[in-house]
């Protein structure tokens, strides 16, 4: 349970906004701006880019919620990771379908979506850091990149439930701050993807995000409290990213041939 930053009561109905939800919304806004910027570099209008984000996000959120309901909820842990994978797949399908309706290459739409996902993922990880989710393992005294989480955070609650933190303790022991490190890595990846998507890439930008996300996760696994948590989801993301990258390279010859004949590169 994450802390609430806003709670309204309307005719007996309680509606609240959690701190993590606030960061997720902020991440969605940042991701949308990145998609619009990347789309402009690729010759896609801002209106089309915004519509792409709307449909992809709407379908992805609904699918993630449904996936969480059938997969054991959307609480912190494996169900949340699986919900993200289900939502990501649905968002990609919606982006491809939207692109078809606008006579836009579905592969270019997926590449633009990959840029936005990387940016939104980076901001969402800052939300995880704020609520103590996805925390690192206990760090030795004086270790760099170590922080403590106070009462009410997910990290404190889970460590207290396991008996590692006394119930009277006001904070956790020093834990490795894996979330902001991962967020910085994803922010750098976002910048690289925005530059990379300047020309049609046939799905390789989305593939680069998936593979890059998996590599960052694996690189920080030894610092996490649960090193193998979510390994199945990360494996699926890496496999999908590699498949998209290979498909993009195979498509490169076709796109080059169409470019020589004067075909609109946005439809390649």
Structural element, H or E, at residue 17? strand 13-18
Q: What value, to the nearest 5°, has the Cα angle with vertex 179 and ends 138 and 35?
A: 170
Average pLDDT over all residues of the chain: 82
- Per-residue confidence (pLDDT) for residue 77, from 0 to 100: 46
Q: What is the rounded CA–CA span in Å between residue 228 and residue 223?
A: 11
- Asked whether residue 93 carries a pLDDT value surpassing 70, the answer given is yes
The model's confidence at residue 120, banded by pLDDT at 50, 70 and 90, is very high
Query: In the numeric block, which tokens belong to residue 3?
Result: 């802390």
Q: Phi first, then psi: what are they for 175, rounded to 5°?
A: -120, 145
- Give this prediction's pTM: 0.83
CB 92 within 8 A of CB 206: yes
Q: What is the pLDDT of residues 26-50, one digit of tens each?
A: 999 999 999 999 998 888 999 999 9
Question: Which residue did the predictor score with more confidence, 11 or 237?
Answer: 237
Flag the least confident range among 30-44, 72-86, 243-257: 72-86
Q: What is the rounded CA–CA span in Å between residue 154 and residue 233?
A: 21
DSSP state of 266: G
Q: What is the rounded CA–CA span in Å between residue 45 and residue 57?
A: 18
Q: What is the pLDDT of residues 195-236, one digit of tens each?
A: 888 776 778 888 889 899 888 988 888 888 876 666 666 777
Residue 53 burial (CB < 10 Å; 0-12/13-18/19+)?
Answer: buried
Question: Which residue did the predictor score with more confidence, 15 or 108?
Answer: 108
Give me the residue spans of the domains in the chain: 18-136+177-261
Query: In the numeric block, which tokens belong to residue 136?
Result: 């690192």
Residue 143 burial (CB < 10 Å; 0-12/13-18/19+)?
Answer: exposed
Q: Phi first, then psi: what are they for 38, rounded to 5°?
A: -65, -40
- 2-6: long-range pairs with CB below 8 Å, 24+: 2/131, 2/133, 2/154, 3/131, 3/152
């Amino acid at each position: 349970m994450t802390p609430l930053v806003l709670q309204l009561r309307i005719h007996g109905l309680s509606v609240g906004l959690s701190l993590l939800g606030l960061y997720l919304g902020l991440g969605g806004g940042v991701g949308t701006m990145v998609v619009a910027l990347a789309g402009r570099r690729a010759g896609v209008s801002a209106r089309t880019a915004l519509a792409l984000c709307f449909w992809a996000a709407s379908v992805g959120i609904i699918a993630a919620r449904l996936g969480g309901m059938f997969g054991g909820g959307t609480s912190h842990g494996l169900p949340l990771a699986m919900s993200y994978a289900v939502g990501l797949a649905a968002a990609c399908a919606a982006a491809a379908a939207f692109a078809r309706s606008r006579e836009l290459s579905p592969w270019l739409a997926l590449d633009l979506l990959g840029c936005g996902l990387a940016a939104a993922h980076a901001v969402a990880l800052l939300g995880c850091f704020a609520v103590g989710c996805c925390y690192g393992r206990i760090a030795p005294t004086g270790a760099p990149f170590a922080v403590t989480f106070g009462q009410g955070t997910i990290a404190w609650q889970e460590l207290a439930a396991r008996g590692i933190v006394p119930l009277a303790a006001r904070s956790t022991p020093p834990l490795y701050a894996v979330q902001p490190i991962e967020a910085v890595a994803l922010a750098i990846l976002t910048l690289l993807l925005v530059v990379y998507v300047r020309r049609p890439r046939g799905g390789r930008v989305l593939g680069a995000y998936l593979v890059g996300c998996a590599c960052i996760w694996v690189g920080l696994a030894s610092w996490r409290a649960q090193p193998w948590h979510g390994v199945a989801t990360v494996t699926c993301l890496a496999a999908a990213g590699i498949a998209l990258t290979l498909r993009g390279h195979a498509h490169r010859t076709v796109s080059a041939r169409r470019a020589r004949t004067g075909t609109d590169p946005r439809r390649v």
